[in-house]
Amino acid sequence: MADVLGLGITHFPMLAGADTHMANLLKTTLKDPDIPADRKDPRNWSVMAQREWGDDQGTTAAGEHRARLLAGLSRCREALDEFRPDVVVVWGDDQYENFREEVIPSFCVLAYDDTEVEAFAVLEKLRVPNAWGLPTDTSFRMRGLPNFAKQLTADVLTSGVDIAYSYEQRKGVHFPHAFANTQIFFDYENVGREFPYPIVPIAVNCYGEHVIARHGGIAKFADIQAGERLDPPGPSPLRCYELGRAVARSVAAGNKRVALVASSSWSHAFLNDKHWHLRPDSESDRRLYDALVAGDHDTWRKVTTREIIDSGQHEMLNWFCLLGATQELGLELEWSDFVQTEILNSNKVFAVYR
Ligand SMILES: [Fe+2]
């Protein structure tokens, strides 16, 4: 008989890196000459930001942040093992990885066979040493479940939500890190190599107007102020809700035990233009977190694409998919945690729904 578990986690790339490098995105931002000097001066930052920055540019704070994140991840992993899923469906963003100028699907099921995945491809690009001191070419196997993925796609399409599907990964590009890191972080001790469950990724175009314009990454203010060639938006938050509901209906009609996972951090400093990329929009994250804890779907369903982009919450579209599924199935929030940071790029949230 079908059964469903809902989880929310982070795929924060810097968690796979050493503490000395966890604040690197902020360090890069501080080199942007078009951000006002007084904004970049730590003496003008919030009390929390100053405390985290400390006298070692965030290395001590990184250790504390890692401990909080690992606690959240192990809580979610325990729920997963207790539930014993047949398959783990993951909503994650494709950050100019599989999908580029040729095509940007709003949603795409990756109906892959087992795939060998490079563990540290993104860290390599960022020139960050991995937290385990392992060789840079370390890899692990991500098990797929293509027939389940095809059935899921068919059900979602039949129920009226358009979704693309893919049978093969793009050549010459690392596996999308939202999904790779999900397996690594669920199996942190083993860097993903002992993870026992197949994964079916659903790529969500979270980056929308910035996916090609900024290659899903950081932009300099000189380029932003000169006028960017923005892309069309991604799917609206409400459409992500509808996708989540359609996926939930498909799963409920089947006979598998399925874990549905939203994989992403919340507001990202490097996307939060209004705060000069110096910190995430914690006020907006808190508002949505309070609504999540209260089971207040109305607040979530009223969020607009503009609000998401203005708060640097692009990747939260993955969480809108999860919340849609929990609403459809009447799943209850069993546990959650909000991990705030001012200097380590993004706030992170963990959640367990049953
Ligand atoms: Fe991401």
Domains and CATH numbers, the chain: 3-353 (3.40.830.10)
Contacts of 291 (CB under 8 A, 6+ apart): 297, 299, 300
Between 63-67, 169-173, 300-304, the lowest mean confidence (pLDDT) is in 169-173
**Ligand 1 mean position to 181 CA, how many Å?**
10
Contact between residue 348 and residue 69 where contact means Cβ atoms under 8 Å apart: yes
Contacts of 39 (CB under 8 A, 6+ apart): 276, 278
* pTM summary value: 0.98
**Ligand 1 mean position to 327 CA, how many Å?**
24
Task: Say how far residue 169 (Cα) sits from the centre of its chain.
Answer: 19
For residue 237, the model assigns a pLDDT of 98
Residue recorded with tokens 């965030």: 58
**Ligand 1 mean position to 107 CA, how many Å?**
15
**Ligand 1 mean position to 48 CA, how many Å?**
24
CA-CA-CA-CA torsion sign (29, 204, 187, 295): positive
**Ligand 1 mean position to 264 CA, how many Å?**
6
CA-CA-CA-CA torsion sign (273, 274, 279, 282): negative
Asked if the model's pLDDT at residue 111 lies above 90, the reply is yes
Tell me the CB-side half-sphere exposure of residue 72, using CA atoms within 13 A: 29
**Ligand 1 mean position to 1 CA, how many Å?**
33
What is the Cα–Cα distance from 49 to 31, expressed in whole angstroms? Answer: 18
**Ligand 1 mean position to 216 CA, how many Å?**
8
199-204 vs 107-110, strand pairing mode: antiparallel
pLDDT digits (tens, 9 = 90+) for 133-188: 999 999 999 999 999 999 999 999 999 999 999 999 999 999 999 999 999 999 99
**Ligand 1 mean position to 326 CA, how many Å?**
22
**Ligand 1 mean position to 176 CA, how many Å?**
9
Taking the CB of residue 301, how many other CB atoms lie within 10 A of it?
15
**Ligand 1 mean position to 226 CA, how many Å?**
26
**Ligand 1 mean position to 50 CA, how many Å?**
26
End-to-end CA distance of the chain: 15
